[in-house]
Amino acid sequence: MQLNLLGKLIQAQLLAIPNQYIDTKMIYSIIMPNHVHFIVSIETGNHAVRLGRIVNKFKGLSTRKAGIPLWQRGYFEHVVRTEAELLAIMKYIENNPARWELRQQNFHI
pTM: 0.81
The C-alpha atoms of residue 5 and residue 55 are separated, in whole angstroms, by 21
Residue 100, pLDDT score: 66
Determine how many CB atoms are found less than 10 A away from the CB of residue 44: 7
Report how far residue 39's alpha carbon sits from residue 97's, in angstroms, rounded to the nearest whole number. 16
pLDDT digits (tens, 9 = 90+) for 27-46: 999 998 888 999 999 988 76
d(CA 41, CA 47): 14
Q: What value does the mean pLDDT take over residues 48-77?
A: 93
pLDDT (average), residues 58-85: 94
